[in-house]
A = this chain, B = another copy of it.
Amino acid sequence: MAINIDLQRERQCATISSEDFAEWWAGGRAALQERRALDKLFEEDAALTDPQHTSLMSHKELYEYTLAKACKFLSKLRDWHAANAHTKSGGDSQQSAIATLYDFRMLLAGPLGTALFQQNFPLRLHFSMFLPALLGQCTEEQQREWFDRAWRMDGIIGTYAQTELGHGTFIRGLETRADYDAQSEEFILNTPTLSAYKWWPGSLGQTANMVIVMAQLYIKGKHHGLHPFLVRIRNAETHLPEPGVDVGEIGPKLGVHGVNNGFLGLKDVRIPRTQMLMKNAQVRPNGRFVKGPEPLLTYGTMVFVRVMIVRDVSFGLQQAATIATRYSAVRRQSPIAPDQPEPQILDHTTQQAKLFPQIAKGIFFRIAADVVWVMYQNVVKELDAGQRRNLPELHALSCCLKAYCSAEAEEGVEILRKSCGGHGYLSSSNFAQIYGAVTAACTYEGENTVLLLQTARFLVKQYVEGLKRRVLPHSVRYLRNATRPKCGKNIELRTLVRLLEFAATESIRTLYEHQRQQRKLLKSEQLVASKTGIRLTQVATLHARAFLARTALEETEKFCKHLKPVLADVLTQLAELFVLEMCLNSLAAILISHPLNARQVDQLQSRYEHLLATIRVNAVAVVDGFDFNDRVLGSTLGCYDGRVYERLMAEACKSPLNQEPVNSTFYTHLKPLMQGKL
């Protein structure tokens, strides 16, 4: 099929090669080619191709369709794995299992998983939570018993159940309990109230047959905290719920329709003592409770998950930006001058302002995630060596980045959707599904406001440490830098970053002073924290922006040393746009901390406009460089060939309503209504 002529011209006029960009973005030629080969293998498989858009299906049809597809995919992946096992060490060591799980997680969240499962992968929880929990929380003996079978899915499809109908973020409030019965050496599990029902776990509804249940442990009526218990909920042979188990799904949602989220009630469900996962704490047969060392790695896991979320939401943003940018090159609307033809909407400055900052965020959010990922790996090594010094910084950083990036990505996806006008509102544009996935990330794994509050508490503490002239962790070192940034006639990029850091510092200082005042009025430290919650979230946001801006600047400088000059130029333009975007979004805070004059603000704005115009020529080449094939984008508006209108029409024609000339309701309702006979 011919490529849309406007899109073709965009590609010809670009100063960079999108293939160069793709190579850099994928981490090198070999990685890019390997990924493309794997994608091709699966995506060209007719058994894994949707015959119709899933938005046409009923809730039940969608479940059955995606689950069947997931099973086919896993089966094919097993075969491929068996044939390609030489590439990974075949050992059964824990390290190798972790590496494989990590790879699988990346595969599912990456282009291939997205292309095949735009509604999310129905068995994801088995791999992303159940297996890692077995790895991380089983004793060696328990691992021998369960892990391999679970890995092979030999009679086991698992999930992880923590959240309850009435309890989310505050896990100490969970009500599900496990009472130890020393007589029978069993735990008796109960969800004593409706609000204690487990609620939300993926795959729990109709799919999983084993669950790791987080429950309050009681021994002889004494409470011993929250622990994980391995519970079979459905018979391996018949899949019927086990006695005492009340299980089902929680119904349709805004997005991620492929995930079979469920509820679980337990009534006197007995499991052997050995099915409490006992790596961190044990219950002896006689009922003695033995507390283990503080599970620092659990903290580590939360960090891991949040860094992954930053990657995931940046991925959604890249998808959406690709769709909207290509569409904007194809769509023509509203002449700039009355006597001229309608231009590509990509030529409108206001359209550029919707697209390019999102492209930049898609890039620099992921780069920030990569940087924090390296920090994470170092901290894990330190933890293994008993050193926990850098954990709080990492934790605070992962909290605010998860919160900030998911919120921005969510907003960005919607800006991009609306930039495509009405057509973006169609399911076939795929924006709705991307949005559904991205916005969910604002809530799960730590609700965003709660996470910002956690970061803010860390920041205030570090600020106080700074006042005491203590050495601060790397990412907050700027809190001790009281030098007011100097803005000359042309504000340098580094100075822009400093403006953000200085605004953050000043906000934290003001907050600290405000809290001191409040302490005189309020009874408790907790009340002070609660009353100043809004300001706390604001300083955490500023910190996230300052960190992201500095990271964009520094990483771009590093990358540019090895890139072709033209590509380095474009990356630098995008970094500058990104930093300016962060500054303009924090303008009030910057102005309060460091009064720029009107002329300087005007200059920032002009520079922003100028950058948009500069980036214009390479916009399509850059999004092409994300190297998403049409299946990954899943969009009538975003495909590589730009044949937008043909695809919109072709997709519409697939609707079952369009398969019959007259719908049955004409005879049953419409005609009687018109005849006054209803």
Contacts and interface: CB of A to CB of B under 8 A. Distances in A.
Interface string A192-208: 00110101100001110
- List the number of copies, as a whole number: 2
A471 interface: no
B71 A672 contact: yes
A565 to B, nearest CB: 28
Given A649-B194, A674-B155, A534 B609 contact: yes
B248 A350 contact: no
Interface in A630-678: 645-646, 648-649, 651-658, 661-666, 668-674, 676, 678
A336 interface: yes
A592 interface: yes
Interface size class of A (residues with CB under 8 A): 35 or more
A21 to B, nearest CB: 26
B591 A427 contact: no
B337 A170 contact: no
Interface stretch (A92-100, A238-246, A386-394): A238-246
A372 to B, nearest CB: 24
A117 interface: no
B652 A254 contact: no
Interface SS majority for chain A: helix
A445 B444 CA distance: 36
B63 A645 contact: no
Interface centre among A250, A439, A448, A661 (most CB of B within 10 A): A250
Given A194-B649, A240-B661, A601 B592 contact: yes
A537 interface: yes
B663 A206 contact: yes
A33 interface: no
A116 B47 CA distance: 41
Given A425-B254, A450-B334, A239 B671 contact: yes
Nearest to A154: B674
B239 A669 contact: no
A418 interface: yes
Interface string A312-338: 000000000000000000011111111
A249 interface: yes
A276 to B, nearest CB: 25
B426 A173 contact: no
Contact of A71 (B163, B165, B534, B673): B673
Interface stretch (A23-31, A218-226, A290-298, A524-532): A524-532
A453 B351 CA distance: 12
B514 A602 contact: yes
Contact of A68 (B197, B331, B421, B669): B669
B443 A425 contact: yes
B157 A263 contact: no
14 contacts: A64-B663, A68-B665, A71-B665, A72-B669, A157-B670, A170-B335, A236-B674, A239-B662, A240-B661, A248-B655, A251-B654, A252-B426, A253-B427, A336-B529
Given A157-B674, A510-B602, 9 more contacts: A53-B251, A163-B422, A165-B645, A169-B334, A252-B655, A255-B425, A336-B526, A350-B449, A591-B591
